[in-house]
């Protein structure tokens, strides 16, 4: 498949890049990690004004522009590239879930998601919800249905400090009968894959810049062949993942989305390991900006389906010859 973004999509990506660069996102991430959500909410509103969350909300709903998975993928690559904090994937997932609710529920809950007025998170019985303390809409998923959780438990520590985990309070209004839908899970995995791709690209760019500056034996370490090989491997992995991610956005077939998530998350994780090695000891420090992307690459790898689970889905679908 040969996939190229059109001029409008490239302009959308460039506008988001400019917006997020001007927002000093690393400072926002550090505030969010401490539980200070003020700057994060302001950034969330600007992202919503750019139309990002509306891309997952049906056009038939007030404020909706979607569903447009390809454009959403373009946006999430940039969100990952700038390490934007918050339950971004979960808000998209909530929009997809609520699109299947009764008209009254959809009309009540979807417009605030599209406009950025409400941050949403989604949790299951087997896992914590992301940023439940910041979310105004908390969806609790169980085999019997999707409920509007009335609250959340204490914040738990996580590998990525900007991904604040909370248990959701059981019970609440029943919004949808039945378990988490395959469609909603596919959207969550696609957004996670796009975010991971952006994280990997940012790590690669920062590492290339570092090895050009860092000198040993009177020359930049980037001139050493072994360093070049590690960076080339990272670049190849990311570039091979990119068409899988956008191809999955075109088809939205669960197995193709799962394959894209494996490729993008493994490429980002491999790039993170390379970045850490080539930065040396400074790469381990929380004060250094690289850590914001290193921890996110590891966390996204297992979000909404770990590599084993996603590979199993790909193998199962290949055996059924349905994709």
Model confidence over 258-283: pLDDT tens digits? 999 999 999 999 999 999 999 988 88
CB-facing half-sphere around the CA of 27: CA atoms within 13 A: 9
What's the N-to-C CA distance of the chain in angstroms? 14
Full set of structural domains in the chain with CATH:
7-180 (1.10.540.10), 183-320 (1.20.140.10)
What percent of the chain has a predicted confidence (pLDDT) above 70?
98
pLDDT of residue 323: 43
pLDDT (tens digit per residue) in 37-70: 999 999 999 999 999 999 999 999 999 998 999 9
pLDDT of residue 83: 97
Confidence grade of residue 2 (pLDDT, cut at 50, 70, 90)? low
pLDDT (tens digit per residue) in 212-246: 999 989 999 999 999 999 999 999 999 999 999 99
Distances (CA, A) of 30 to 24, 35, 86, 169: 11, 9, 12, 27
On average, the pLDDT of the chain sits at: 95
Q: What is the rounded distance in angstroms from the CA atom of residue 322 to the CA atom of residue 26?
A: 43
Scanning the structure block, which residue is given the tokens 């957004």? 191
pTM assigned to the model: 0.96
């Amino acid at each position: 498949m040969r996939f190229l973004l059109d001029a409008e999509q490239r302009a959308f990506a460039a506008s988001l890049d400019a917006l997020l660069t001007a927002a000093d996102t690393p400072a926002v991430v550090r505030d969010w990690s401490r539980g200070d959500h003020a700057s994060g909410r302001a950034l969330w509103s600007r992202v919503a004004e750019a139309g990002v969350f509306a891309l997952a909300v049906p056009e038939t709903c007030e404020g909706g522009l979607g569903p447009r998975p390809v454009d959403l993928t373009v946006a999430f690559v940039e969100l990952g590239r700038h390490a934007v904090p918050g339950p971004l994937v979960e808000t998209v997932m909530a929009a997809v879930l609520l699109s299947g609710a009764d008209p009254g529920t959809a009309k009540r809950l979807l417009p605030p998601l599209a406009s950025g007025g409400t941050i949403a998170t989604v949790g299951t019985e087997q896992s914590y919800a992301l940023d439940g303390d910041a979310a105004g809409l908390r969806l609790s998923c169980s085999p019997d249905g999707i409920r509007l959780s009335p609250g959340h438990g204490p914040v738990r520590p996580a590998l990525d400090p900007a991904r604040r985990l909370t248990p959701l309070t059981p019970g609440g209004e029943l919004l949808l009968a039945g378990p988490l839908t395959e469609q909603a899970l596919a959207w969550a995995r696609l957004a996670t894959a796009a975010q991971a791709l952006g994280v990997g690209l940012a790590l690669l760019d920062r590492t290339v810049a570092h090895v050009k500056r860092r000198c040993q034996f009177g020359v930049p370490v980037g001139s050493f062949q072994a360093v070049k090989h590690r960076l080339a491997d990272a670049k190849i992995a990311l570039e091979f993942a990119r068409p899988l991610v956008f191809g999955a956005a075109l088809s939205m077939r669960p197995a193709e989305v799962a394959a894209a998530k494996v490729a993008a998350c493994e490429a980002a994780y491999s790039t993170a390991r390379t970045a850490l090695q080539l930065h040396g000891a400074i790469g381990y420090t929380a004060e250094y900006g690289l850590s914001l992307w290193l921890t996110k690459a590891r966390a996204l790898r297992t979000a909404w389906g770990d590599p084993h689970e996603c590979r199993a889905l790909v193998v199962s679908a290949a055996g059924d010859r349905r994709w």
